[in-house]
Structure 1
Amino acid sequence: MVLSNGDAAVTEVMQTLQLTVNRILEPAIPCDASDDRLPLMARSVHEYVASLSAPWLRKYNVLYSRQHVFPDEIWCAIWNETDLNTRVAVIHVCAHWRRLALETSTLWARLNIGPWFFRQEDSTGDSQVVLMRILSLSSSHPLSITIHQPDQASAELFATFLAACLDDQRHRIVALRLTGLGHFLCHELVKRLLVMPVLKFFTVEEGDWTSGYPWALSTQDDLDWPVLERLELSDDLRWPLPMYRANVTLPRARVLSMRFDSVDDITSAVTACPQLEDLHIRVSRHGITLDPSFSRTLCQGIDRIANVTIDRCTPALEHWYTGNFDHERHQQLFLQYDYATYPACTIFSGLQSPIIQISFNLAESDQLVIRARDFTNRKRQVTVTFDEAHAPGVMSNLAPQLLVQEVKRVIVDAPVLHAVGDTLWTPACDTLLLRVASQADVFILSGRGSMLGFTCVTTVWIQALEDNLVLPLDIADAFLRRIRGGNSVLKRLIIDGLALNGDPSNLNSFADSVIHRGEVVKTHSDMPAPRVEPECEDPNGELAAEVLNLRRPRNESP
């Protein structure tokens, strides 16, 4: 059956799909009726299939509706939406799924194991059998495993599983992600995991290490990971100490994320990873040791890294980084400050190319995110995140750094508009995109009569991030007067996603061209009729792409 675009055809396909799954699951009732958990698991598979959307079905186009099997793509899609608990339960009661699952290695390509698996009293009878079969299947197909923290009582089973993973002849584990398992992993076990023959990605999150150093028990140990491409570790795991790091080599590592206690740690890591593209520096909770006499001999090594992230950054570290490294060559540089620290903002002045666009966006946990972008060359981006309460002081630090720039576009969330508008560099701005996330943000726009510093702005774009927001005309009037401070009218005014509680033509006096919700309200006689697409304000589509990227609730991370 070939899917068409008509609703009737889609409905027919959905019904056929559900009937086929019903036929497959008919014999899935277990012999032991006392175990009422298993038929529930079997029914959950039916629910997954029934919930598949019409666009998803159109993607595969053809459905073998009169057979008791589906194309492999559909089986894999259903399978990938279930956790291991559901998979084991379903194949335990359904012969069709058992044959399919235990003979098709691709269905086990991504394995997500929760705490339940390591509790014998809760897992189904053949959990261990299934797991051993999975590992044997992975000998012909790459396997990605994520393990979530088991409880203390299941530590023995967990260790048995990892021991099976370490059998070089039985698997091709290419990715291993451990969450909250630090207190279950001894140093020797971590070392053995890292040298698995085909392991490319290794992640440890939320560990609970007592020593904070799992790499070596002897200075003679070689820490050679020739295949590893991605190494991401929790804050409890630091880069090897100087007495061990001479033997550290990661020739293929592209992503490195771990704790560093000193600048020497950072430069040592860069030296050990000649192919590094993404460096995530997790500064110790006790700070980082800076060497004022540091030599720039390793500068080229850090310069070549495309993306650098520094967690728990400090002003001293920012000054040191700006003074020693040509971060102009980074494509992305992220500085994450903690709640008690003001960013120095010197990182912005170090850019040789002009900053074309800068944005001020609120993120989760009352964090303010500043992004500076250069669209003239490689679209470089510098991002600084800090506590929103520090916004006035940070703006004071930022203003001198941006005086030498020619910032043309400013994107700002309404709650921090006043702090941004008081800075000295805003007169250079000709395009202002204002983001409004709630009705409370709308009322912020009226202000208290104070003027904002966007005296040269020619385009104002008010963007709603939520539906059903209303912009009263009196607030719009007050806001537009604050923006220009009584100067000449705007060239363009765009109000996107906000309803007005009056006639939009009442705003015609503020701009030569007015667009409300995609409709042209006014066009100046000397100007061609504006296009209503975002690209009309952004010939290269860059600002439009930024707007689409920012269409998210404020409590989501940027």
Structure 2
Amino acid sequence: MSLLTRFPPELWCAVWELMPFQDRVAVSHVCRYWRDISIHCPSLWQHLEFSSTIHGDDCICKLCGTWDESHSGDEDGDEVHTRVWVPNAGPPPGTTNMYLVLHVLSRACELPLYLTVEVHPHLAELFVVEDFGMQLVAIGAAERIVSISAVFDDPSTLRWLFSGMKRLPALKEITARRSTYPSTLSARADTQPWYDRNIDMPALSTIALFGVGWMGAYGERAENTFPSLSSVTCAFFYPEEVEILLNACPALDELRVIVGEPTGLGDYSWRLEPDVLSKLERVPSVRVEGVTSDSEAWAIDNFGGGLRASFAIAYADGVLPDLGLAFDLADIEYFGLTLNGLTLRSSRSLQRSLHFSSRHFERISSRLVDVFTRHCAASLKTLLLPGALIPTFIRPAQNALASLEALLIHDSDLTGLSLSPPLSSALPSLKVVHLMDGCGERPRIPADVLAGALDCLRCTDSDSSDRLEKLILGDVELDGDVGILRSRVETVC
């Protein structure tokens, strides 16, 4: 870019302010001109990335030292093996960008800060993390942090970071992910909670912990409370964790339980006590993810009961749903089925959902039909189905959906209806047909094909009272004259 055609810094700052963050480009080298320009734009310095790879004093990896092995004999003549750890001379390996981050913090002026933290290895030097937190407090940056996203090997990382900060008045969101797990137990076990006992986060609303439990091992706990916390994602390794979480978060609206993280450490034999289950009923929405055949009963017994507004199970890829197909809802008014999920909703607005791999659909389809026939047909008002499955679930000879008012065709596939005998006798109250595009495209449907499908669903003649009240096309494009539908439906939208 020549000097004559360069925009003034103020104009470039306006461009960066208005441009969506995801459209920005990361480059390996920035010339002096762009560096000078960026200093004048505070919003470019809101997202900060702190990292540290400095090894701790107790690290016994190959970079930090060697094991000195010796062999000797005792008084009885038996050979004795001795191993002594010999640390390398000099400072521990690894680097940190702490001072660089602290140097550029002032460029964000008084704007909110989004902090990313990455600390490795498992036995990292956590005094660096604590010092970083203290430095943020000293320069007044801690009070402007609204989001922290952390990736680490040592579960103590968050606690050390918070121990240096003490108070985060603007923090709203925490995401923490443990990236690796040691093959053997080390001197640093997960003996304490992820949070510092004295940390104050009055605005915290969302936290997601992956591979990190709510409390430490051996029942170690800190009785902190988070009165503003409304959404929690975490794993539970001990039943006590659930009660501690519920006591600490009185305003919890959404609980997302991650199963099987870390892999192989799950104990699914424990069950929650009745008083804890009673507290859990206060949470309107609970979702359990990564459910396996080993953890299915555990997930349902501990989190699936009660009268909460919403409960969902998401099965791990490759796992066939079994116990989750037994529902305890009465007066089901909504039945929504796709190739990878089922949602039921009762007259009391209680919702239950299953999410599974589409490759298992054929293996459980007969059980889904049985659930539909036994528990839904009599009270159903809204039905969502893939078009090809409509003749499978709506069978005039076996069941009549006397209360059904709305039929939602998930993929706008009318093939099943074109090959089906008339279904109108099973749908005496049908008023609305909604074609939904489930494939992210805008399908085109010939008007005469659609008219034939409507005839299958609702017999029509000159009597306008037999017509459907509404046909909702959504993203579907109609190919042909819409007038052919006038005798079959009152409103097309």
Same topology, TM > 0.5: yes
| 1:428 has 2:428 as partner | no
Give the deviation of 1:256 after TM superposition: 1.8
| 1:209 has 2:181 as partner | yes
Partners of 1:79 and 1:456 lie apart in 2 by: 48
SS across alignment from 2:175: strand
Partners of 1:318 and 1:474 lie apart in 2 by: 48
| 1:308 has 2:282 as partner | no
CA 323–476 in structure 1, closer or farther in 2 if over 3 Å, else same: closer
Residue identity matched to 1:143? L
In structure 2, the partner of 1:281 is 257
Give the deviation of 1:311 after TM superposition: 1.0
Higher relative contact order (CA 8 A, sep 6+): 2
In structure 1, the partner of 2:10 is 69
CA 463–94 in structure 1, closer or farther in 2 if over 3 Å, else same: closer
Q: Does the aligned pair in 1 maintain the 2:126–2:160 contact within 8 Å?
A: no
Question: More helix per residue: 1 or 2?
Answer: 1
Q: Does the aligned pair in 1 maintain the 2:288–2:299 contact within 8 Å?
A: no
SS across alignment from 1:436: coil
CA 145–385 in structure 1, closer or farther in 2 if over 3 Å, else same: same
Partners of 1:212 and 1:373 lie apart in 2 by: 49
Partners of 1:289 and 1:409 lie apart in 2 by: 36
Q: Does the aligned pair in 1 maintain the 2:48–2:101 contact within 8 Å?
A: no
Give the alignment of 1:44-123 within 5 angstroms. Answer: 69-70=10-11, 75-78=16-19, 80-81=21-22, 85-86=26-27, 89=30, 92-94=32-34, 96-101=36-41, 104=42, 106-111=43-48
CA 508–270 in structure 1, closer or farther in 2 if over 3 Å, else same: same
Partners of 1:21 and 1:454 lie apart in 2 by: 74
In structure 2, the partner of 1:8 is none
Q: 2:374 aligns with which of 400, 425, 432?
A: 400
| 1:296 has 2:296 as partner | no
Residue identity matched to 1:479? A
Partners of 1:245 and 1:75 lie apart in 2 by: 47
Give the deviation of 1:270 after TM superposition: 1.8
CA 77–245 in structure 1, closer or farther in 2 if over 3 Å, else same: farther
Q: Does the aligned pair in 2 maintain the 1:213–1:237 contact within 8 Å?
A: no
Residue identity matched to 2:157? L
Task: Pick the structure with greater CA Rg.
Answer: 2
Give the deviation of 1:258 after TM superposition: 1.2
Q: 1:333 aligns with which of 307, 311, 318?
A: 311
SS across alignment from 2:180: coil
CA 456–98 in structure 1, closer or farther in 2 if over 3 Å, else same: closer
Residue identity matched to 1:297? D
Give the deviation of 1:310 after TM superposition: 1.1
Q: Which runs of 5+ in 2 are unaligned?
A: 53-96
CA 100–259 in structure 1, closer or farther in 2 if over 3 Å, else same: same
Give the deviation of 1:385 after TM superposition: 1.5
Give the alignment of 1:467-486 within 5 angstroms. Answer: 469-472=443-446, 475-484=449-458
Give the deviation of 1:500 after TM superposition: 4.9
CA deviation digits over 1:529-554, x for unaligned, max 9? xxxxxxxxxxxxxxxxxxxxxxxxxx
Give the deviation of 1:281 after TM superposition: 0.8
Q: Does the aligned pair in 2 maintain the 1:258–1:282 contact within 8 Å?
A: yes
In structure 1, the partner of 2:221 is 246
CA 426–291 in structure 1, closer or farther in 2 if over 3 Å, else same: farther
RMSD, matched Cα: 4.7
Partners of 1:158 and 1:278 lie apart in 2 by: 32
Residue identity matched to 1:433? L
Partners of 2:467 and 2:185 lie apart in 1 by: 60
Q: 2:208 aligns with which of 229, 232, 244?
A: 232
SS across alignment from 2:418: coil
In structure 2, the partner of 1:186 is 154
Q: Does the aligned pair in 2 maintain the 1:283–1:310 contact within 8 Å?
A: yes
| 1:490 has 2:467 as partner | yes
Partners of 2:459 and 2:296 lie apart in 1 by: 35
Q: 1:135 aligns with which of 96, 100, 105?
A: 105
In structure 2, the partner of 1:258 is 234
CA 393–264 in structure 1, closer or farther in 2 if over 3 Å, else same: farther
Give the alignment of 1:445-464 within 5 angstroms. Answer: 445-449=417-421, 451=423, 453-464=426-437
Residue identity matched to 1:23? R
CA 312–174 in structure 1, closer or farther in 2 if over 3 Å, else same: same
In structure 1, the partner of 2:66 is none
Partners of 2:18 and 2:406 lie apart in 1 by: 44
Give the deviation of 1:276 after TM superposition: 2.3
Partners of 2:109 and 2:118 lie apart in 1 by: 23
CA 463–243 in structure 1, closer or farther in 2 if over 3 Å, else same: closer
SS across alignment from 2:288: strand
SS across alignment from 1:94: helix
| 1:411 has 2:384 as partner | yes
Residue identity matched to 1:311? E
Give the deviation of 1:278 after TM superposition: 2.0
Partners of 1:220 and 1:461 lie apart in 2 by: 50
SS across alignment from 2:138: coil
Give the alignment of 1:364-379 within 5 angstroms. Answer: 367-370=340-343, 372=345
Give the deviation of 1:280 after TM superposition: 0.9
CA deviation digits over 1:319-342, x for unaligned, max 9? 525775332xx3x43221234232
Using structure 1 for the length normalisation, give the TM-score.
Answer: 0.60
Q: 2:355 aligns with which of 385, 406, 411?
A: 385
Residue identity matched to 1:326? L
In structure 2, the partner of 1:269 is 245
CA 162–340 in structure 1, closer or farther in 2 if over 3 Å, else same: same
Q: Does the aligned pair in 1 maintain the 2:459–2:466 contact within 8 Å?
A: no
Partners of 2:391 and 2:131 lie apart in 1 by: 59
Using structure 2 for the length normalisation, give the TM-score.
Answer: 0.66
In structure 1, the partner of 2:138 is 169
Partners of 2:195 and 2:471 lie apart in 1 by: 62
**Paired positions, count:** 416
Partners of 2:35 and 2:217 lie apart in 1 by: 57
In structure 1, the partner of 2:328 is 349
In structure 2, the partner of 1:528 is none
CA 419–187 in structure 1, closer or farther in 2 if over 3 Å, else same: same
Residue identity matched to 2:219? Y
CA 471–145 in structure 1, closer or farther in 2 if over 3 Å, else same: same
